[in-house]
Amino acid sequence: MIHVSPWGKLRFQQLEHAPRHIESTLSSSIATRLMIPDPQLQKIADKLETGERLNFEDGVFLDRHANLLALGQMAHRIRQQRHGNVAYYNTNVHLNPTNVCVYRCTFCAFRSDLRAEKSYVFSDEMIRERVLEAKASGATEIHVVGGLHHLKKFDWYVNVVRVIHETWPEIHIKAWTGVEISWFAHLTKKPYSWILEQMKAVGLGSLPGGGAEIFDPVVRARICEHKADSQSWLDIHRAAHELGLRSNATMLYGHVEEAEHRIDHLLKLRDLQDETGGFQTFIPLAFHPENTGMSHISKPSAHMDLRIVALSRLMLDNFDHIKAYWIMLGEQTAQVALNFGADDLDGTVVHELIYHDAGAKTPEGLTVAELHRLIREAGCEPVERDTLYRRVLRSGATWEIGEPVLVS
């Protein structure tokens, strides 16, 4: 049975902050004329203009051949139609409760063997301390992902969420990727819906988008053998959406995958979104090679990063948001991405470890003032959102949740 969630029919509503010229863009019937003329690209631009969906062949063509500026022009137009010149950010902290992991994904620099010197496990006291620090800094979200510890039972992971929630019930807990939920199902021999219900009962608010990597089984076998396969990842997100939990989706690019794998990945996400409407935002993740099993591969260029952001905006016509995750893109490229299809920068991101262990040179957290500067310089208006894309009405470290920025 296909379950249609209450979010299935989200519509664009004119934003308070959208500039006046957006209205004329929306009602304009003049087809986009590309800055770089190309007949094949113009056909795709015409499809976008009439609201026709791009197919697999269009995607592969764009990925392989489209000029970067033409891609950006098309993606930016769609981003402007949906969000005006608004760019979203949030105030969040990360918590990676353990780095010990049974898996050995070749792209991961964060994981540790059980008895290695770098291994760690957070105690309840350390979790409470992190939550109280988040509270003092005015964070609205805690993002929780970690390793799959050889010796920890399902109850240990439930306890992480419970301790956070009991310490400060107001903070939104975005926790556990599809891969972790799959591991919990393996540990308990229970269905995904049962796992998610247990987590929801102790305070889980939504799922982050990690663990998707690249869905293609051949690529997956090369970069994260034995980990949850694409069908499990998609089934888990479907189960979450059916329980009323929103989630995000990611794609790890710039390693051994090709254009076909990226487009196949995006279309699988688009299909699930057609079915449930439960995804909020898509986050393309650039591979960081340092300290990983693929350290011989170069980090993706800014050119590739911007192409993938734009391509994602064009292919994922049923996703409201495309996030330029500044931690991995770098502040400069993330800022430019706001003009190449992205409408969100993620957040202040205090205590991020996964990318920094893999050589990210970005700072360990940005202030709100710095996020505002980046957004304004890109010609956009910063809007603080919570995890569920509702406006945050803030006075220093205290805040209230306002209206959704996009309403049905």
Q: Which is nearer to ligand V47, 73 or 312 (CB)?
A: 312
Q: Which is nearer to ligand V47, 208 or 341 (CB)?
A: 208
CB of 288 to ligand V47, least distance (A): 4
d(CA 274, CA 46): 23
CB of 367 to ligand V47, least distance (A): 19
Residues that bind ligand V47 (CB under 6 A): 107-109, 145, 177, 208-211, 213, 248, 250, 252, 283, 285, 287-288, 292, 325, 346, 354, 358
Q: Which is nearer to ligand V47, 49 or 290 (CB)?
A: 290
Q: Which is nearer to ligand V47, 130 or 246 (CB)?
A: 246
CB of 324 to ligand V47, least distance (A): 11
Closest listed residue to residue 124, CA positions, set 93, 94, 167, 154: 167
> What is the chain's percent helix, strand, coil content, to nearest 5?
40, 15, 40
Instruction: Kindly report each contact of residues 323-328 with a partner whose C-beta sits within 8 Å and lies 24 or more positions away, as own/partner.
Output: 323/248, 323/281, 323/282, 323/283, 325/283, 325/284, 325/285, 326/362, 326/366, 326/374, 327/352, 327/355, 327/360, 327/362, 328/285, 328/286, 328/288, 328/355, 328/360, 328/362
CB of 141 to ligand V47, least distance (A): 9
CB of 42 to ligand V47, least distance (A): 35
d(CA 150, CA 70): 48
d(CA 324, CA 285): 9
Residue least distant from ligand V47 (Cβ): 210
Q: Which is nearer to ligand V47, 91 or 248 (CB)?
A: 248
Token pair 């049923």: residue? 318
Phi, psi at 110, each rounded to 5°: -85, -35
The helix/strand/coil state of 133 is: helix
Q: Is 48 left (phi over 0), alpha (psi -120 to 50) or beta?
A: alpha
CB of 285 to ligand V47, least distance (A): 5
Q: Which is nearer to ligand V47, 73 or 177 (CB)?
A: 177
Q: Which is nearer to ligand V47, 54 or 145 (CB)?
A: 145
CB of 299 to ligand V47, least distance (A): 9
CB of 304 to ligand V47, least distance (A): 13
Q: Are 124 and 164 in contact (CB under 8 A)?
A: no
Residue 224 CB neighbour total at 10 angstroms: 21
Closest listed residue to residue 91, CA positions, set 357, 334, 393: 393
Q: Which is nearer to ligand V47, 61 or 287 (CB)?
A: 287
